[in-house]
Chain A
Amino acid sequence: MKEPLPMPILSDTMAIGRILRWHKQAGDSVKANEVVAEVETDKAIMDVEATRAGFLAGPLAPTDTDIAVRTPIAFISDTRDEAVDEVPIAAAPQQEAPQSKARPTSEMPAEISRTGSKKVDVSGPKPERAAAPPAPHTGGRYSPYARALAADLGLNLEQVPAGVDGTVRSIEVVAAALGPLPADLTAGPPYAICPQPLMREAVARNMTAAWRTPVFHMQARLTLGPLRQLHEATGYAFTVLLARACARAIADHPLFNATYTRSGLAQRDRVDIGIALDLGESLIAPVLRDVGGRPLPALTTDWQRLEAQAKRHRLSLSEYTGATFYLSNLGSSRVVEGFDAILPLGATAILAAAAPATDERALFNLTCDHRVVFGADAARWFASFELHLSQPESWAQDAIGDVPAPPQTTSSAPHE
């Protein structure tokens, strides 16, 4: 018996995936949970695992093609014979063709083959890959509700991007109505449309959604000298030290660790900080957990791991979600004097740090959710932040003391 292997839902917002590589071929035996393919989602590259033991059976979905979640991308069969026999089975959910003629004869064999009891003679030429699983992109289809909504909202339907199967439904119209107006490309030089990597599209979507948060900005020029000295003395990652100073200031002003919800502020009891990471073709913000509470060596190790995984596109959902405070550090760009950052959804503030000038002072820009904190709160936060930046030894000392103690230490009274 053949069971379909669907395109899995690998993130909370995943609607389509692209297969990058098949690790197994049709006919290969697979164990349950064994990785059979790699899939690019809107967030990361992830593994597709076999749902059960058996043999991977074709037709395998093509690589580098948009495939809707839950669409079969392959099959898993009980026997190798079935796996290499590429006769399509009736399980792929495909739109039925309009039935103008011969309905009973075209339908009955399909129903019979579903039971799996009918043996197919494969001595003749192999059938073509008849039922390629991914849904085709058929443009220009609009649901009645989408048309009605678009008319009510005064939207031009032709400018509404279609859903994964090429159809514009209400959800696409609503998204278009809430988002920015599309660019008018009719004037100007000729152009070609280049499809974007899914992660880039996800960034565009998230930034558009985030733009609706009411924010204000505040700048301060603060010295990074003491922090640099600590970095050089200890070898802890500079980004981690900067995040730690932020966490200290957040601990002084807990409103910066709260998220606005309709029913009230969600006050977090641990400071998790998302740190923006430039991946060249994309952008992601891995979240460093408990930046205020964990020892600096542990934070540094953890950050190096997150950075490495992010560069291989191997972060899991829990590793880049859930921060209330973000840090974007462009310190490596010496020519940039200062910049602003968009506040991600669910966060209360994002701190944009530019490179320090020759006097070691750098321009910081804090973008805040005005529903959670006000200007005076931000000013007080900056005052605390400045204090922690100028006296890193006060909190680095604590952290250094947090290093696992040598085993021979038995005395509990520290010697001053």
Chain B
Amino acid sequence: MVQELLYWQALNRALDQEMAANDAVLVLGEDVGLYGGTYRVTEGLYAKYGEWRVRDTPISENSYTGLGIGAAMAGGRPVVEIMTVNFLPLAMDAVVNLAAKIMLMSARQFRIPIVIRMPGGIAKQLGAQHSQRLETMLMNVPGLRIAVPATPQDAYWQLRQAINLDDPVIVLEHEVLYFTRGPVDDALEPPPLDAAVIRRKGADVTLIAYSRMVLLAIEAADTLQAEGINAEVIDLRSLKPIDWETCTASIQNTHRAVIIEEDCRFAGAGAEIAATLTEACFFYLDSPIERIAGLDLPTPFNAELEASAIPTTAQIVETVHRVTSTVVPA
């Protein structure tokens, strides 16, 4: 059935369906029970599944993430909510040293089917300590998977796939995306959890983005199309692993690529993507792979400064103009 849903409603539906289908699925986190989750993702689940399966925890990220890992080792399929990615550093020991390591260090005696989900990104004037992305901290940890859904449909699909996987999966949501709307079809066959998808076909330049930046890339592609430049937009959907095949196939056709990330440019996800794609596509490139990224500074609180600290659609258009300087518009 196709239904127009908000992003948070899509996540809520995924949780509800998985909890109904499998008694082993449980939810842990701050304010996920009685309150229904800071961004309403767990709304209604406490009433439906009870306090045994929807557990409010104290403010103790490392402890309840560790608790989730223990539950996973004991046969549960926990979904841990960390209120925002900004509190992830507190849980890093559990994530890095336990969730990511136990399967191999126990010689596969234990699988860790845990989902750790959290919102990140710059919302609106929440201050430097509440406006981080931090995905690169996790990308560098072997043993994790990272999903970055940009649409309600992907949020629904990828959360369900993550719950059903026997390995730890981080689902990075975006605070601004929670109230975006889109069709969610629960009858449709999903692409694999870590497959990238082409949101728009084009032959002149490849735009590679994830999470909220996908929306900006599509907007920029609209503007460019009016000028006769056809940009291909790739939504990565997963930052670990990355679907390189989709990216290289596109670049072999366009010979140009621009990567758009909201996180800081220095040592960001874009750096990894650009380096790997340059290695893979060097002899197909007509222009250096460029990155458009957030500035390398704590996010300013001032609204105007905050907005200019992260990529804009105009910046994408400008960069594409430079990169495609010899493309004669059709």
Residues of A near any B CB (own CB < 8 A)? 9, 12-13, 15, 68, 70, 91, 93-95, 103-104, 107-108, 111-112, 114-115, 117, 135, 143-148, 163-165, 167, 169-172
Contacts and interface: CB of A to CB of B under 8 A. Distances in A.
B296 A143 contact: no
A108 B322 contact: no
A197 B321 CA distance: 26
A117 B255 contact: no
B309 interface: yes
Contacts of B109: none
A171 to B, nearest CB: 5
The residue among A111, A117, A147 with the most chain B CB atoms within 10 A of its own CB is: A111
21 contacts: A9-B329, A70-B227, A93-B318, A93-B319, A93-B321, A104-B296, A108-B295, A111-B295, A111-B308, A117-B304, A143-B287, A144-B283, A144-B285, A144-B286, A145-B255, A145-B286, A148-B283, A163-B326, A164-B326, A169-B326, A170-B286
B39 interface: no
The residue among B255, B282, B287, B326 with the most chain A CB atoms within 10 A of its own CB is: B326
A115 B255 CA distance: 33
A13 B283 CA distance: 27
Contact of A107 (B282, B285, B295, B328): B295
Interface string B290-330: 00000111000000110011000000001101100111110
B35 interface: no
Leading 6 A-B pairs by shortest Cβ distance: A148-B283, A163-B326, A169-B286, A143-B286, A93-B322, A93-B318
A322 to B, nearest CB: 18
B284 interface: yes
Interface string B275-289: 000000011111100
Contacts of A70: 227, 321
B328 A15 contact: yes
Nearest to B322: A93
A172 B327 CA distance: 11
Given A143-B286, A145-B285, A104 B297 contact: yes
A95 B321 CA distance: 11
A104 B318 CA distance: 21
The residue among B283, B295, B297 with the most chain A CB atoms within 10 A of its own CB is: B283
Contacts of B319: 93
Given A112-B305, A148-B283, A163 B325 contact: yes
Nearest to B228: A9
A117 B304 CA distance: 9
Given A108-B295, A108-B297, A111-B295, A146 B286 contact: yes
Interface residues of B, number: 25
Contacts of B266: 103
A112 B308 contact: yes
Nearest to B283: A148
A267 to B, nearest CB: 25
A172 B286 CA distance: 11
Given A112-B308, A115-B308, A95 B295 contact: no
The residue among B282, B325, B327 with the most chain A CB atoms within 10 A of its own CB is: B325
A145 B283 contact: yes
A166 to B, nearest CB: 10
A165 B255 contact: no
The residue among B266, B327, B329 with the most chain A CB atoms within 10 A of its own CB is: B329
A117 B322 CA distance: 26
A76 to B, nearest CB: 16
Contacts of B304: 115, 117
B308 A144 contact: no
B109 to A, nearest CB: 48
Interface in B222-251: 227
Given A93-B321, A164-B326, 5 more contacts: A13-B328, A93-B318, A144-B285, A165-B325, A171-B286
A169 B287 contact: yes
Contacts of B282: 144
A164 B286 contact: no
Interface in B190-227: 227
Interface string B259-271: 0000000100000
Contacts of B321: 70, 93
Contacts of B227: 70
Nearest to B255: A145
A164 B325 contact: yes
Nearest to B329: A9
A115 to B, nearest CB: 5
A103 B266 CA distance: 10
A95 B329 CA distance: 21
Contacts of A144: 282-286
Nearest to B285: A144
B326 A171 contact: yes
Contact of B325 (A68, A103, A104, A117): A68
Contacts of A135: 325
B227 to A, nearest CB: 8
B322 A95 contact: yes
Contacts of B296: 103-104
Nearest to B266: A103
A92 B305 CA distance: 20
